[in-house]
Structure 1
Amino acid sequence: MKRIITAFIFIGILISCNSSDKTKISTRESSETKTVTESTSNDKQLNTIESNESLIATSLMAAPEESRSKCKVIGYNMAGEFVTLREGDNEFIVLADNPNQDGFNAACYHKDLEPFMARGRALRAEGKTGQEIFAMREAEMKSGQLKISPGLTLHIYYGAKTMYDPETSKVEGAQLRYVVYMPWATAESTGLPAAPMAPNHPWIMNPGTHRAHIMISPLPEEIE
């Protein structure tokens, strides 16, 4: 009789253990499923830049937010033609990313810089090298044919990727850097170093030349 009772108790323990294990497995599976679902739902849907509209929207991220609605946008369209993508009536011109080149690179600059920028584009179209363009514009600045007023700015929005968030128009991984033109300025005349002292610090580039400028490269948002 004792053997029978003992057998029943042992069977009861086995059933209880199996039930408990199944409950734990079910709870764990449910938790894992929830985690995967939450992770999937939090992922942003990124799109490729496939139209002139998306090219304009992403390139405008180079401009100050409050000025984007009235910026003129120029550059290569999706067909590979250099055109005015959108007219504007404020102080900024946006040079759109070239969709036929790797990565993303858009720029926004004060409209008074356009003669200088246009000259560079024209010389590049003629097949001139970077060194030749630098030398020719240097000579034209010295002669007064070209002019850059000190303090004119250039904003650059750049990155290695080209996917973007259609809700915000932000390009994946892209960041900003800024150029403040100071023709002929030097480290001595500005008090700025000729090389950055640390990440996120301003410095003067091309000192003593027509292209002397203060370079400011903010750290990416995820590092700040």
Structure 2
Amino acid sequence: MKRYFSLLLCSAAFTACAQQKVPTAEVQIKQALLAAPADKRAGATVYGYDANKEVVVLRKGTNELICLADNPFEAGFSAACYHRDLEPFMQRGRALRKEGKQGREIFDLREQEVKAGKLVMPKQPTTLFVYTAKDEDVEGGGGVKNGYLRYVVYVPYATAESTGLPLKPEGPAMPWIMDPGTHGAHIMISPPKQ
């Protein structure tokens, strides 16, 4: 009985900690929109997290942009916004991570699914914006200092030859192509960090 009571207390304490760790919807929305271009913020759909680590809709939008708040259960700060046509790709990645898959395994599974027609990638180039910071730079109330914004343009199956882009950056903010010839081919644009 004593052991059962201890487990019950530990479970309750964990749930309370998890609930305390998740920022309010207002804060999550504010932080998620840091990744969005200014003219897209007011109309963006925003996803965030609940105490059960589930992705939930915090705000329904009116434009083509979807923003995802920082995952409070992971180290570091990372908010992202992307074109709604990338949602099947992004959602599948979240589902695979929830299953415990990581990195290359997720990439390879999505590649197989795209080739099999089970996962559809956008036909036109689509953009992803990623805003990152260190945990210590996240302020109360939704502020983030010393954040870094980088840009990604997905162009499935594009290559260095089809785009004229190099396979690695050769100068500050120079665009380059990553994962060429795959479903996840994308143009990387990483401004210099200040």
User: Residue deviations 1:163-217, cap 9 Å, x none?
Assistant: 2386xx6511111101101111111111100000012111000111111100001
Query: 1:35 — aligned with what?
Result: none
CA distance in 1, matches of 2:49, 2:110: 23
User: Is the 1:73–1:88 Cα contact (8 Å) retained in structure 2?
Assistant: yes
Give 1:78 deviation, angstroms. Answer: 5.7
User: Residue deviations 1:130-150, cap 9 Å, x none?
Assistant: 222111111111122222223
Q: Which runs of 5+ in 2 are unaligned?
A: 1-21
1:151 corresponds to 2:109: no
Inter-CA distance 152–127: structure 2 relative to 1 (3 Å threshold): same
After TM superposition, which residue ranges in structure 1, 4 or more long, deviate above 4 angstroms? none
> Which aligned pairs between 1:101-180 and structure 2 lie closer than 5 A?
101-148=74-121, 149-161=123-135, 162-164=137-139, 170-180=143-153
Query: 2:46 — aligned with what?
Result: 73
Q: TM-score, normalised by structure 1?
A: 0.70
**Corresponding letter in the other structure for 1:51:** T
CA distance in 1, matches of 2:27, 2:171: 35
Q: Which runs of 5+ in 1 are unaligned?
A: 1-48
> Which aligned pairs between 1:19-98 and structure 2 lie closer than 5 A?
50-77=23-50, 80-98=53-71
User: Is the 1:50–1:78 Cα contact (8 Å) retained in structure 2?
Assistant: no
Pairwise CA RMSD: 2.0
Query: 2:183 — aligned with what?
Result: 210
Greater CA deviation, 122-131 or 59-68?
A: 122-131
CA distance in 2, matches of 1:184, 1:81: 31
Give 1:122 deviation, angstroms. Answer: 1.0
**Corresponding letter in the other structure for 1:155:** F
